[in-house]
């Protein structure tokens, strides 16, 4: 496994259902237990399961567009009272919601403040799934291209500089060893390094199966399998496990041919949802610190 040395600002995205949120929480907890000051940041989502309870844990921050925009506007206006009088009403909220990119930009602004506050060694951002996730990263460019001067243009420029600073910022893709998630992870890597001109940090692949027949069992099995029938429950089990494993390995090879690092997290046998973070953390720690 490649060494894990995350950037100060990490964005994590990937196909929905690949374990993105749990992984982000796992990495944050891992770093926090190494005495780093870590923030795990949820982007425009308020339904993070209670993954982060307990001591020596990362700080959990939820970015909501309305609050982020309020903070930005109050700074620009220099008065919270003025903001409340003029902006905090249904019409203005409607206008802001209807303006593409504005909510995302406001959240990125808040993120910039957290990142530059000096309070954290690492900010780990759990972005929305691939499509929306990448569109969030595209927003500063959209704003600076659309608006050519003024406060929002400058704000967009600042966000763009933050995202493109390869020494500070990386984007990571999360996948499971299945066709669609892997395809999306490749799309993320290409978009990040290409159109977005950002640094791609690598792939995390969750739920990787262990070889069901490690040696010497594989050789013994090959010899024995010819002596029994295809309907033998043991043979059916072994063939099924081997084929599942082979299918995963084939997909992993397609990611492996890329230059970016890839971290594999072993499949965790079914656990209760409350134990998922602990189990993932144990599996992750075992992988990076053999």
Partner 1 sequence: MTQATLGAPLRSAKILLTCGTGGVGKTTTAAVLGLAAAQLGRRVLVLTIDPARRLAQALGLPAAPTDAPQRIWSAAKKSEGGACDMLMLDAKRTFDRVIERYAPDAATAQSILNSPLYQQLSSAITGSQEYMAMEQLYEIVAADQYDLVILDTPPSSHAIDFFRAPARLIHALSDSMLKLFVGPTLRAGRFGAQLLQKGANTVLKLFGRVTGADMLQEVSQLLLSSVGLFGGFGDRAKAVQQMLRDRNTGIVLVTVPHNDLIADAIAFARAAKREKMRVVGTVINRIAPDMGEPNAAHAAPPPALAAHLHHLWAATLATRAQQTGRVEQLRKALGARVPITFVDDSAEALHSIEALLRIAEHFQ
Q: Taking CB under 8 A as the criterion, which residues in 138-167 touch partner 1?
A: 138-139, 142, 145-153
Write down the least CB distance from residue 53 to partner 1, Å: 18
72 burial via Cβ count (<10 Å: 0-12, 13-18, 19+):
buried
Residue numbers 90-109 binding partner 1 by CB under 8 A: 90-91, 94-95, 97-102, 104
Q: Which of residues 45-84 bind partner 1 (CB under 8 A)?
A: 72-73, 76-77, 82
Contacts to partner 1 from residues 165-224, by CB under 8 A = 176, 178-181, 183, 212-213, 216-217, 220-221, 224
Q: Does 252 bind partner 1 (CB under 8 A)?
A: no
Q: Is 254 in the site for partner 1 (CB under 8 A)?
A: no
Q: CB nearer to partner 1: give 152 or 262.
A: 152
If one asks whether residue 16 binds partner 1 (CB under 8 A), the answer comes out as yes
Stretch that binds partner 1, among 110-118, 196-204, 225-233, 254-262 (CB under 8 A): 225-233
């Amino acid at each position: 496994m490649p060494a894990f040395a995350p950037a100060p600002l990490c964005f994590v995205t990937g196909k929905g259902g690949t374990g993105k949120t749990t992984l982000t929480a796992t990495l944050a907890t891992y770093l926090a237990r190494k005495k780093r000051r870590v923030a795990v940041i949820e982007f425009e989502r308020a339904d993070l399961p209670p993954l982060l309870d307990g001591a020596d844990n990362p700080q959990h921050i939820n970015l909501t567009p309305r609050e982020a925009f309020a903070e930005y506007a109050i700074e620009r206006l220099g008065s919270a009272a003025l903001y409340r009088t003029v902006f905090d009403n249904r019409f203005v909220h409607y206008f802001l919601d209807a303006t593409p990119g504005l909510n995302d930009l406001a959240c990125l602004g808040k993120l910039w403040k957290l990142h530059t506050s000096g309070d954290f060694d690492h900010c780990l951002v759990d972005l929305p799934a691939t499509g929306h996730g990448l569109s969030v990263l595209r927003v500063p460019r959209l704003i600076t291209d659309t608006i050519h001067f003024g406060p929002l243009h400058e704000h967009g420029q600042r966000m763009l500089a933050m995202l493109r600073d390869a020494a500070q910022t990386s984007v990571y893709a999360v996948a499971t060893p299945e066709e669609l998630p892997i395809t999306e992870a490749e799309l993320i890597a290409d978009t990040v390094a290409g159109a977005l001109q950002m640094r791609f940090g690598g792939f995390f692949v969750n739920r990787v199966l262990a070889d069901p027949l490690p040696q010497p069992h594989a050789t013994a099995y090959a010899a024995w399998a010819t002596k029994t029938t295809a309907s033998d429950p043991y043979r059916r089990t072994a063939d099924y496990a081997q084929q599942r494993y082979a299918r995963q390995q084939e997909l992993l090879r397609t990611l492996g041919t890329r230059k970016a690092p890839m971290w594999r997290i072993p499949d965790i046998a079914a656990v209760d949802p409350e134990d998922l973070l602990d189990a993932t953390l144990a599996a992750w720690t075992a992988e990076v610190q053999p």
